[in-house]
Amino acid sequence: MIFNNISLIWCIILYFTNFCQLSFFFNSNETLNIPHKINKPYSFTNDELLRKRNEVKELIDFAIDSYMDYGFPFDEVRPISCVPNTRNWDDPNDINKNDVLGNLTVTLFDTLTTVAIMGDLQRFKSTVKLIDDIYSPYNYSFETHNVTIQVFETTIRILGSLLSAHLYAIDPQKKVYLGKDYDKNPFLLVLAQNLADRLLPAYLTETGLPYPRINLMTGIVGIPEDHMLENNAAGMASPMFEFTLLSYLTGDSKYEMITRYAFDKIWETRTQLGLIPSSVNPQDGNILGLMTGIGASIDSFYEYALKGAILFDDNKLYQTWDQSYNSLKLFCRNDWFYTNVMSNTAQLATGWVDSLSAFWPGLQVLDGDLEDSMRKHLLFNKLWNEFQAIPERWAFNPIPENIISHEEDGENNGENEYLYSWKSIIPLEWYPLRPEFIESTYYLYRSTRDPFYLNIGYQILNDLKTKYKTKCGFAGIQDISTGERQDRMETFVISETLKYLYLLFDESNEIHNTRDNIIFSTEAHPVWLTVKMKQWYGKNRFFNDTIYIHHLNRCQRADNYIRQIDDGQFENQYLRFRVNNENDLVKRPNFGSCPNYMKYWKVRREETNLLPYSQMLSETRDLFEIETRYQVSFPKTGKYNAIELNPSFYNQWSTPKYSQSQKKSTIEVFELMFSFSNDYVPPTIELEKDEKKNNRTIYFHQPYGNKNFHVEKIIPGKIDTYGKDIGIEYLFGADLYNHADPRCNREENQRGASMVYRAIIADGIRLQENDIVVINGTEIKPSLIKPASSSFFKFEIGSLDLGYNGANQLTLGCIPLNNVYLI
């Protein structure tokens, strides 16, 4: 069955990326109202983008040549000292190195698809031949490697690359097609299957969840026990993607069945809030980490839920993505980033975000949520311009090192000055040239064609050439505060970082001009499945490995037993399995930002009297809010304004017709959480018939699951969230009479309102100024007039009584929310 929702969105994005160009032509007889002078270096013509693409290609060739000259046949090259970077043979406990460096020529494998992306047939042929020469004497087997490596990292870096390179090699439509000789001996696939067979025993645990590590020769024998007792959600669930693809290409469904069981089991461990714990003991099922978010340890779970749904036309995977995304929007989504919370309580767990979460805006693009993607990307853009890097962890709520009281200095103003060190602002200070920020920049440009993202690419390219390039490769940063470099070039620098930058500038790349349903793996290896491939697998699939058949049956029997005895005692302690009800499998519409996406291009077409402009620069009125709200976390802010990247670019690509910054808000905002029974049902959004007003109504047709509202206090004289001065007229719509709760009709509550409330975010949806929220009040209203009404809800502002008034507006302590109605 074709996966309608996501496929349609992705097709729309591909349509515009294929046919919308930035180059433009004008009729010489027409008079143009050009708002600013055109500056050639920022014109982004096809010729200029081609030059930038070629600059990136030179960097890629340089990085590969450096590895081959100074690192091969070992895993990596040290870019500063120009010697191989090898695993730590003397210390098996050095898992930070040894998890990835298995003496497997990892960089050689991981660069295969970057070469394919560039269409460099000669280098692709020579690299594939080199792999053939190395492994053909061993019958294309990894059995001679007596090394313990991490299952997840080896899967995404080597297995994923082999599968992607194989797809390129057998496809006559691709520039690096290897022809009939390879078709007769598809050894890349053979090698991939052998590697998978040596990784798969990691899943032979009591729970069916994989051990984090395995020895390619001896299995789990000889691995220290303390290296096997904890695995994270991403590591346990994510191999499903590459292993399922391997099943489609070989017909052997054991790879899909075993890894998909683990993926589904991780999803079944979600708490009542729909959030997934970060780590588990794979042998006994003991939950070890309750913190959750979108970054390290869990990121690829969400990534592969959505990407797997698209690649394999899998509606159940999409339901997993849809429900998990809804929970994240409820409990983790902030204005500019997603926070880490406790999966059982949704309480804030950390005051920082990590660099891996920079991939999230790109995933949101794939889901069609462009509006929020563009906002979340801005934080990482700000981080890059502040540090010319993305810190491994950046604290939005840093802990001060010292506090200086002005009273101690003889000043009686009662104020304190908080001093923050670099360590408090950047808890983890390194940047190993991770690709996630560039990846999201690429996705956003392909979907919006906004020059804002090309300019980001220009800056990154310049930084790579001037700050990160060394004699023998590209060196990351060990300490952002001091500029100390890392003498290491990880394989993802070529496989992902440079690849996404290359694609950002390559308008004519075959990936951008194909009907193939191409999906990038988490290591940026492009993969696809044709209709014939899917049909072949459906007809020819088999599962005849008795070891794994018996193992899977045993795990499923254990699950059924736990379900029978589970009375809630295992919650937050051990794996708790949930049985999906019928509603979980019903296709739900995706309310992403495709209307906003289409509106963007409609405006572009209608503005015939103006040159194309940057929507991000021109129409994001709170573009500078990050700098002011988190000022203490940006120590350089004030010395220069970093958000535009370049003043010349800003002057050229913004337009006075739309550009205006909004005032900084001065009102209080708090969070209101409603807690209902049953599974969450997302709202629908309807536009007002008069499109010029662009007003929306957000309907909660079923009051199920948890609901999260961000609410602001509307007080005359203050500045609201939208940068508007609050006047007395904001209070005119407040109905203080005819409340359902008689306590609100007493004389002291009818003297007039000095403030009202207004919802600004509903279930992660940013509300526009004139939006209205409508909640089905059938089940809610009777509960609000009970004496213990406040116990029906959980919220963070104390014990304000909830009710409703004669206008059916929801009220807090007799004060109405003027845009939230119970009907």
Catalytic residue among 48, 153, 392, 490: 392
Instruction: Say which amino acid occupies 276.
Output: I
Tally of CB atoms within 10 A around 554: 12
d(CA 280, CA 266): 9
- DSSP state string for 101-163: --SS-HHHHHTHHHHHHTT-HHHHHHHHHHHHHHHGGGTS--TT---EEEHHHHIIIIIHHHH
- Residue 101 · residue 43 · CB < 8 Å: no
**Cβ neighbours of residue 368 closer than 8 Å, sequence gap 6 or more:** 6, 9, 590, 592, 593, 594, 597
Q: Which helix (H) or strand (E) holds 291?
A: strand 291-292
Q: Per the omega criterion (within 30 degrees of 0), is the bond before 73 cis? A: yes
Secondary structure in 3-state letters for 772-792: EEEECCCCHHHHHCCCCHHHH
- Residue 646 · residue 459 · CB < 8 Å: yes
What sign does the dihedral 644-423-334-770 (CA atoms) show? negative
Secondary structure in 3-state letters for 598-646: HHHHHHHHHCCCCCCCCHHHHHCCCCCHHHHHCHHHCCCECCECCCCCC
- Residue 361 · residue 302 · CB < 8 Å: no
Q: What are phi and psi of 618, to 5 degrees?
A: -95, -30
Instruction: Say which amino acid occupies 552.
Output: L
**Cβ neighbours of residue 662 closer than 8 Å, sequence gap 6 or more:** 621, 622, 722, 723, 724
- Residue 431 · residue 392 · CB < 8 Å: yes
Token duo for residue 122: 């000669």
Q: What are phi and psi of 110, to 5 degrees?
A: -70, -20
Token duo for residue 799: 């014990």
d(CA 698, CA 607): 30
- DSSP state string for 641-679: --TTS-HHHHHHH--TTT--PPPPP-S-EEEEEEE-SS-
- Is 364 exposed, middle or buried (CB count within 10 Å of its CB: 0-12, 13-18, 19+)? buried
| Residue 429 is a catalytic residue | no
What are the beta bridge partners of residue 214?
Answer: 149
**Cβ neighbours of residue 601 closer than 8 Å, sequence gap 6 or more:** 16, 20
d(CA 216, CA 197): 9
Tell me if residue 803 falls in helix, strand or coil.
Answer: strand
Q: How many residues does the chain have?
A: 823
Active site residues: 392
